[in-house]
Amino acid sequence: MMKKNINQKIISIIEYYKMINLDMIISNDPITRYKREKNINFVSDKKEKLNILKKKIENIKNCNLKKAANKMVFSDGNINSKIMLVGEGPGAQEDLMGLPFVGAAGKLLDKMLDAINLNRTKVYISNVVNYRPPNNRRPTDEEIEKYLPFLKLHIEIIEPKILILLGSTAMQAISGKEKIISKARGKWFKIKIGGCEPEIIVTFHPAFLIRQPEQKKNSWYDLKLIREKIKFLKL
């Protein structure tokens, strides 16, 4: 009877250790702990939010732009600025340096900003797509659609009061409509993007102005509107 009880206890102990995985307990192998990706909605620090977004873009899957590019181009400027500019995508120089608007178009953009008493320490700059399209071609509709959630989240994190869309690609990505930029530029409108609803204006992309210098007078008109809006909003 005693032997039977002892055997039953041994069986119970064996079954217990099977249940709790004895091998894992006595193994010398380290226990793997999986890190959960931080939920950006539960992060309050703006810089940390941007770092999470940057990693999300770096880890994007099935992206031909990423495969062909040298560097991911995320942003430049002041993350606390209330003025945000969005261009189309990186060019050759941007692809090498990992910063937006550092080529010929970037030099012209700096001059445009300077004309209304702005510079890169006073604004925040990004693009619709974060990897260079081959041969500086326009991003396809599919590529724009793939990066649009990242762009909208980027805008929501920065929370600009003024959003300046440089060129037709940025205009179409944000407005969702195919418009003729010559008719859409120079007009203020609002679109709710996540938790923010900035004042938005479309103007010509600096690269277009290099090709079509006669349009600089219209661009100057847009810049003056932006300067007036900055004064009105006391930014």
Statement: residue 25 has pLDDT above 50? no
Is 19 a member of any domain? no
84 strand-pairing partners: 124, 163
> What is the distance between the alpha carbons of residues 173 and 156, in angstroms, rounded to a whole number?
15
Sorted by sequence, the CB contacts under 8 Å of residue 151 that are 6+ apart come out as 86, 126, 128, 173, 174
Q: pLDDT tens digits, residue range 89-110?
A: 999 999 999 999 999 999 999 9
Q: pLDDT tens digits, residue range 190-231?
A: 999 999 999 999 999 999 999 999 999 999 999 999 999 999
Is 35 a member of any domain? no
Helix, strand and coil in the chain, % to nearest 5: 50, 10, 35
Domain with 91 in it: 62-233
- When divided into structural domains, the chain yields a total of 1
For 187, half-sphere exposure in the C-beta direction (CA atoms, 13 angstrom radius) is 10
Is 197 a member of any domain? yes
Higher pLDDT, residue 22 or 121: 121
- pTM value is 0.83
Is 96 a member of any domain? yes
Sign of CA dihedral 104, 108, 109, 113: positive
> What is the distance between the alpha carbons of residues 147 and 130, in angstroms, rounded to a whole number?
8
CATH number of domain containing 221: 3.40.470.10
pLDDT of residue 30: 52
Is 142 a member of any domain? yes
Percent of the chain with pLDDT strictly greater than 90: 77
Is 4 a member of any domain? no
